[in-house]
């Protein structure tokens, strides 16, 4: 097998990189281990504003996220474009509400909103009367919120299935193998898998939390880390929630799908059972996550949870990693920063542009893998 480009990782980033490479005339093959892929466990939030959970847990990475806010806004627009071309994905973009339950949380949101406005986001602060006009179902303790007009939500099961079908129509194959190492010589790139060896002119690495280990022998040390997180979905609810819901201090995301089910997530931990098994559900996360959701939106408190699961998020330094490795120019990295499902399609497109020798849609300097060079 000697494709022009081998894409490692068949999640949302890899799928979209492969699609754009195909548009550019490249021969493409994808290879994926089929284990713990965040795309297939995602809850469907389109994040743009800075998440309070991330700011609390990873303060050292906040500057990179803040500097990348224009990329998040552009990524949400990319999802709108994809929905028009290949959807519908049940995409709704009426904004995201980050809720406050007291004066201190409101002050936090006010300061955050000022920083986000400076980076080009469309945000505003709402008091309780303003909230009642757009979200009357909120609990009585909510005193205000930040509304980010750039945010939204979609149904990831539908989006993933439709995009995978498009790749199938293009004849782009996905091989099942776990990649162990990558090397480069004058003739191209050799990729060693557990089951086979592959040759390609170029490789795009879109394997999220596994990427750091995969390229560690190529002159960079990318600190990718798997973060197992918990999610739930309820039966259909009578209440109509059109916004993505978050909290100024507590870990929560809450959104409603087109058929009425409520998806509840937002960063509660799950049990890491190793790379070959999906994360396990923790009872404390299940109970805490749904209890907080019912506190914020009391009308959903009596709903039954019909499924609960866990998936892998990936963290590095807060920023995306896109571009050629300085010591292995045939290897192109395509690693979204925090909120990888939101960023994935845009990061995949930018990585494909690099591989095709085209001009990327954004300034690449901030995302260059060279910042991790040994």
- Domains of the chain in start order, with CATH, are 5-40+158-224+317-372 (3.50.50.60), 93-151+226-315 (3.30.9.10)
Instruction: List Cβ neighbours of 275 (8 Å cut-off, separation of 6 or more).
Output: 35, 36, 210, 226
Q: Is the backbone peptide bond immediately before 88 cis, with ω within 30 degrees of 0? A: yes
The whole-number pLDDT of residue 338 equals 87
pLDDT of 276 higher than 90: no
Report the predicted TM-score, pTM, of the whole model to 2 decimal places: 0.95
pLDDT of 258 higher than 70: yes
CA distance 254 to 232: 10
Judge contact between 311 and 317, C-beta under 8 A: no
Please give the structure tokens belonging to residue 47: 């994040």
* Mean pLDDT of the region 186-202: 93
* Mean pLDDT of the region 35-61: 90
Mean pLDDT check: name the lowest of 141-155, 158-172, 293-307, 348-362: 348-362
pLDDT band at 1 (very low <50, low <70, confident <90, very high): low
* Number of other CB atoms surrounding residue 74 within 10 Å: 18
Please give the structure tokens belonging to residue 264: 């509840």
Percent of the chain whose pLDDT exceeds 90: 85
CA distance 42 to 12: 10
Buried b (16+ CB within 10 A) or exposed e, 268-280: bbbeeeeeeebbe
CA distance 252 to 2: 45
Nearest to 354 by CA among 326, 322, 327, 328: 322
Instruction: List Cβ neighbours of 21 (8 Å cut-off, separation of 6 or more).
Output: 4, 5, 7, 28, 204, 352, 355, 356
Supply the DSSP string of 209-258, one letter for each residue: GGHHHHTTTTTB----EEEEEEEEEEEE-SS---SEEEESSS--EEEE-T
Nearest to 231 by CA among 274, 276, 288: 288
- Around 170, how many Cα atoms within 13 Å sit in the side-chain half-sphere? 24
CA distance 32 to 37: 9
| Torsion angles phi and psi, residue 47, rounded to 5 | -85, 135
pLDDT of 360 higher than 90: no
């Amino acid at each position: 097998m000697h494709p022009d480009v081998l894409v490692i990782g068949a999640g949302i980033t890899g799928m979209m990189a492969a699609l754009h490479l195909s548009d550019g005339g490249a021969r493409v093959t994808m290879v994926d281990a089929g284990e713990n892929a965040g795309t297939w466990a995602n809850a469907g939030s389109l994040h743009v504003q800075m998440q309070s959970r991330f700011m609390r847990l990873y303060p050292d990475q906040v500057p990179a996220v803040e500097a990348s806010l224009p990329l998040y806004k552009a990524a949400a627009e990319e999802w709108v474009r994809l929905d028009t071309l290949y959807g519908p994905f049940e995409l709704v973009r009426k904004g995201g509400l980050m809720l406050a339950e007291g004066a201190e949380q409101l002050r936090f949101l006010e300061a955050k909103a000022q920083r986000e406005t400076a980076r080009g986001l469309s945000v505003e602060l709402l008091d309780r009367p303003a909230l009642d006009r757009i979200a009357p179902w909120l609990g009585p303790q909510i005193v205000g919120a930040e509304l980010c007009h750039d945010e939204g939500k979609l149904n990831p099961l539908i989006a993933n299935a439709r995009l995978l079908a498009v790749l199938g129509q293009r004849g782009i194959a996905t091989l099942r193998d776990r990649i162990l190492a990558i090397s480069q010589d004058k003739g191209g790139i050799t990729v060693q898998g557990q089951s086979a060896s592959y040759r390609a002119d170029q490789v795009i690495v879109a394997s999220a939390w596994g990427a750091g280990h995969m390229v560690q022998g190529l002159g960079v040390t990318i600190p990718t880390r798997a973060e197992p997180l918990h999610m739930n979905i309820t039966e259909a609810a009578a209440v109509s929630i059109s916004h993505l819901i978050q909290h100024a201090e507590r870990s929560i995301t809450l959104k409603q799908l087109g058929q009425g089910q409520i998806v509840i997530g937002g960063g509660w931990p799950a049990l890491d059972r190793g790379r070959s098994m999906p994360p396990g559900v923790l009872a404390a996360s299940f109970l805490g996550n749904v209890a907080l959701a019912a506190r914020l939106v009391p009308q959903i408190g009596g709903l039954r949870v019909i499924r609960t699961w866990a998936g892998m998020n990936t963290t590095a330094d807060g920023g995306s990693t896109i571009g050629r490795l300085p010591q292995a120019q045939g290897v192109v990295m395509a690693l979204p920063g925090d909120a990888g499902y939101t960023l994935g399609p845009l990061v995949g497109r930018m990585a494909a542009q690099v591989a095709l020798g085209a001009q990327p849609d954004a300034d690449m300097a901030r995302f260059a893998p060279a910042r991790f060079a040994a």
